[in-house]
Structure 1
Amino acid sequence: MDTETWDTIGELVAWLDDHSQLDPSTERLMRLMKLSEEVGEVAQAVSGAMGTNPRKGQTNDWDHVENELCDVILTAMVALQTVNPNAGKVFATRLGYVADRSLNRPPNT
């Protein structure tokens, strides 16, 4: 990911910090827990897009699912930046590791 993306995430984290009424350790925990909420919203959007609830029918489309997936990604990025200010580097390292392992690429040495 480019540095502009991580700069924006940093701005969002700073904004959240400025508006938080919680102590930093509780705020960090809440940002981690927020991921569960966002993942639940993806599941709800998928159910709505597929019309699997007979009482409600089709209530969403796949664009809504995409938006909810983006919210999960953004929430995870904010949580990672909250846990580690070098989130961009941490993410890039982990992405490289997973790609190397999954794609059978030789690890970077």
Structure 2
Amino acid sequence: MSDAHGNDTPTGLWDSIDDLWKWLEADQPIGGREGLLLRMLKLSEEVGEVAEAVIGATGQNPRKGVTHTWDDVQAELCDVVITALVALRTLTPEAREVFGRHLARVTQRSLGTRDA
């Protein structure tokens, strides 16, 4: 599958997001509006874990020293992306299309038109 710029997207990315969403929906202890809000808050938790990993990788907490690696930061960033995509899928079954359109708008706004 290719995006608006002809770049290949990871095979199965959205299938995996759908599978994770289904798994979460099947075992959701709190549903409705509150469950939706908690799913969105999970994103903030994951971003906090990125910050913790960066602080740990740079040794910025003198009491703890170096506690993480840059590989840990990469993994936490991946968790943020996955969590955000699952949150988007929670809001709409058309998450793939919504994300694709938004990415195209941001790319156009940021990079302008690219001549082939």
Q: TM-score with structure 1 length normalisation?
A: 0.92
The separation in 2 between residues aligned to 1:58 and 1:12, in whole angstroms, is 32
The separation in 2 between residues aligned to 1:4 and 1:25, in whole angstroms, is 29
Which residue, out of 1, 5, 8, partners 2:13?
Answer: 5
Q: Which residue of 2 aligns with 1:53?
A: 61
TM superposition outliers: structure 1 runs of 4+ over 2 Å: none
**What is the CA RMSD across the aligned residues, in angstroms?**
1.3
8 Å contact from structure 1 (residues 3, 88) kept in 2: no
Deviation of 1:24 (Å):
2.6
The separation in 2 between residues aligned to 1:99 and 1:66, in whole angstroms, is 23
* Higher RCO (CA < 8 A, seq sep 6+): 1
Q: Which residue of 1 aligns with 2:48?
A: 40
Residues 15-59 of structure 1 show CA distances to partners (whole Å, capped at 9, x for unaligned) of 101101212322211110001000000000000000001111111
Name whichever structure is richer in helix by fraction. 1
Amino acid at match of 1:52: Q
Identity of aligned residues (%): 50
Given the alignment of the two structures, is residue 63 of structure 1 paired with residue 67 of structure 2, yes or no?
no
Amino acid at match of 2:63: R
Q: TM-score with structure 2 length normalisation?
A: 0.86
Unmatched 5+ stretches in structure 1: none
Q: Which residue of 2 aligns with 1:22?
A: 30
Distance of aligned partners of 1:3 and 1:24 in 2 relative to their CA distance in 1, 3 Å threshold? farther
Q: How many residues align?
A: 106
Deviation of 1:2 (Å):
4.9
The separation in 2 between residues aligned to 1:47 and 1:3, in whole angstroms, is 33
8 Å contact from structure 1 (residues 46, 62) kept in 2: yes
Unmatched 5+ stretches in structure 2: 1-8
Q: Which residue of 1 aligns with 2:5?
A: none
